[in-house]
Amino acid sequence: MKAELARIIVGLLACILVGLNCSIAWSAEKRVAVVVGNTKYETSPLANASNDAALVAEALISAGFTVNLFFDLKKEEFSKIVEQMDASFDGADIGVFYFAGHGFQVDGQNELLAIDVDTSSAGSVQEKVVHLRDVIDAASTGPEGGLRLIIIDACRDDPFSDLDPRFQPGLSYSDAGRGETLLAFSTSAGKLALDGPAGGNGPYAIALSRAFEAPKVSLFSAFRRIRQQVRISTDGLQIPWVIGSVEKEHVLKGTADDRASNTQIEAEDYNLDTVLWYFLSQHGTEEEIKRFVSLFPSSRHVTAARTLMRNLVSKKDNANDSSRNLSFRTAAINQQDIIERARQKRLERLTFQPQTNIPAELFRLWPEELPDAEGGLRNIVTACDLLSSHPADPQRVAPAIRDGLVNIRDAAIFCGFALVKDPGNPRLQFQLGRVLDIARRFEWARAFYTRAADNGYSAALTNLGYMYYSGRGTDVDYTQARSYYLKAASLGNLRARTNVGTLYIKGRGVSKRPDEGILWYRLASDMGWVNAQNALADLYRKGIGVEKNLNASAALYHLAAENGQRAAMNSLGRSYLSGWGVEKDRTTAHLWFERAIDAGDRFAPYFLAKDLMGLKPDDAGKVTILELLTLSADRGFGQAYFELGQVYLKGSLVRKDLQEAYFFHRMAELKKHKKAKAEIEKLKAQLGNDDIAEVEDRIKQRLQLNGL
């Protein structure tokens, strides 16, 4: 049994990624999943919980699970599912429960909410809760009972804490269940998760679906990747966490189902039909595959497409969809119907809220129906634009979507079909290239970027430059990067102009000339590019390439900070603390630190905590300082780990604890903090071997499940 556990979660795409015929029977391993998405609450409905459940369900099916998918469950239905889950998971090698919806904690106990909750009183709310502890108990098994994953993607807002002082936002980290069990939370304890742009997907569901499809990745690595991607895509505002009793390093091996294509997919085949078929062969609906055959009658993939289409029709005719029944009959569930139902749910409202720092009401909501104006956006915007517009693309025609929120499978398919209709459109070529870039299909991405670049599309030129600058899918080549950046800069691309300035300042691909780099920064700053304003402010503060001028740095920090640049917010806070070009003002400094923290900055919590430490804090203030340092550390700042170690070493805010001091100094060392090693050596001389071994085990578990 345990040997079989190594085949976990993800498998289908591994073989498909290299184009092999990987038809494998799943009978050797039983994989069962229960997926719940609650969106239509009578009070405080959510934007994307059902979309997220649909996306995760489709990813699990791709990984070989028999999925039971439920939307918008009332209390009676929800409770019945939990009661039946024990029997449904019985004997399963892998069992997964995923919940997207409302959740909160009462007296430290975690609760999930059914949609028929009445928020008029605390008592009426409690009548409609499902205890997370009951879910864990129903899913858990003995040590020989297989792997269990309980994934809670909840707490997307807080409409309940005002009803009763015992009600707290977010969830607490409860113990996982018996045996091989992991409990994964989409955000940190007591914190809220982001729901994502309206009509799209939340960052956790996107990251989860990508991890489930990655080839040959270990279970622990998958959750570390999820944590990293969510932290990056939310600018540090959401940090997932995993706890559990799983000891083995389960390996996610590539497997496949009967959707695997017999057609070899070559990376150097850049034709649109091949790229589109690559995604359709795994994620396409019957209607989409039929459309592919109609549009590409001469494609070498048509035979495979027709075969797959016949298989999908046959499966629909020979299976009953019991996905909405409250009785689990997993053998009878038609998984293709689940996929089509999931896709339909995700595309019901294909509209998004723009990510913008402009506070005007006009920019907060993208309308579901665009005006039918002559020559208006309704005649230009496509589903591809709504799913994949780049934040730094000056020619985009729809709200921007960050990399971590792009639904790769839907975006690739819709962009592919959009290009069939309008093959010479450089905006669509760029957007498909971007989706392929996010999917790490770098050769294909570069091909479509190049097509858009040849048509003078500045964002494509900039992204090509970045690929060579960062070595993304190719060798690092600063000279080539500079060539692309200069072409984009000549077209007025402000991101590219800033990047050209960076090349001169750092001497990459060109002789080091900070004075020239500053000219490019000034040009982009004058045209409103906040990243250039912040970078230029740093140079004025440090006197690099220009005479040191703290008044200029403070003015530029203020300009960039007011327009949402979070690093500038932190630097402006430090300026007010230190008097860099402004009068010292602790109150104003703290306000800017708090704004930076709310924007996800990793450094601001540390600097605010350090300043508060000098103010003789009371007990509540000490708790606040520890929370700020922990937040900064969780967001990835090694100095915050070191400071936490010093706090426990000196006993200044909490009781002195050498084991905790050792733990945080070790974490700082792993983050390559220069002073940590010396402190560790001192602590080793004071701690016993058993104490050190205990902390090292804790660090090992932390790194396995959550990374640094």
Report the pLDDT value the prediction gives residue 336, as an integer from 0 to 100: 59
In the structure encoding, which two tokens stand for residue 626, read together? 């520890």
Instruction: Give the three-state DSSP class for 338.
Output: helix
Domain count of the chain?
A: 2
Two tokens at 178? Answer: 């018996």
Tens of pLDDT, residues 144-153? 568 888 999 9
Residues pairing with 98 in the sheet: 35, 151
Q: Tens of pLDDT along 320-331? A: 443 433 334 333
Nearest to 396 by CA among 462, 443, 450, 346: 462
Single out the residue of 559, 652, 567, 547 nearest to residue 609, CA to CA. 652
The distance from CA 310 to its chain's CA centroid, rounded to whole angstroms, is: 36
Tell which of 179, 214, 244 closes a domain: 244
Q: Is 199 left (phi over 0), alpha (psi -120 to 50) or beta?
A: left
CA nearest 95: which of 140, 148, 143?
148
- What residues contact residue 162 under an 8 Å CB cut-off, 6+ apart? none
Average pLDDT over residues 567-593: 96
In a domain, 631, yes or no: yes
The phi, psi pair for 131, rounded to 5°, reads: -70, 130
Q: What distance lies between CA 646 and its chain's CA centroid? A: 32
Lowest mean pLDDT among 139-148, 154-163, 409-418: 154-163
Q: How does 39-72 read in b/e, with b if 16+ C-beta sit within 10 Å?
A: bebeeeebbbbbbbbbbbbbbbbbbbbbbbbbbb
Q: What single letter denotes the amino acid at residue 562?
A: E
115 lies in some domain: yes
- Return the residue matching tokens 């090693």: 677
Position 362 confidence tier, pLDDT thresholds 50, 70, 90 = very low
Looking at residue 38, its amino acid is: N
The C-alpha angle 36, 40, 46, rounded to 5 degrees, equals 85
Examine residue 226 and state whether it is found in any structural domain, yes or no.
yes
Q: Is residue 68 part of a domain?
A: yes
- Residue at a domain's end among 186, 216, 244: 244
In a domain, 423, yes or no: no
Of all residues in the chain, the percent with pLDDT exceeding 70 is: 79
Return the amino acid letter for 251. V
Range of the domain at 626: 620-706
Look at residue 89 and tell me if it is in a domain: yes
What are residue 96's DSSP bridge partners? Answer: 33, 149
Q: Exposed e or buried b for every residue in 641-675, given b needs 16+ CB within 10 A? A: bbbbbbbbbeeebeeeebebbbbbbbbbbbbebee
Indicate which CATH number applies to the domain containing 217: 3.40.50.1460
Average pLDDT (25-39) is 74
Q: Which amino acid is at 164?
A: D
Paired tokens of 518: 């500053």
Q: What is the mean pLDDT of the chain?
A: 83
In a domain, 465, yes or no: no
In a domain, 666, yes or no: yes
For residues 161-190, average pLDDT: 68
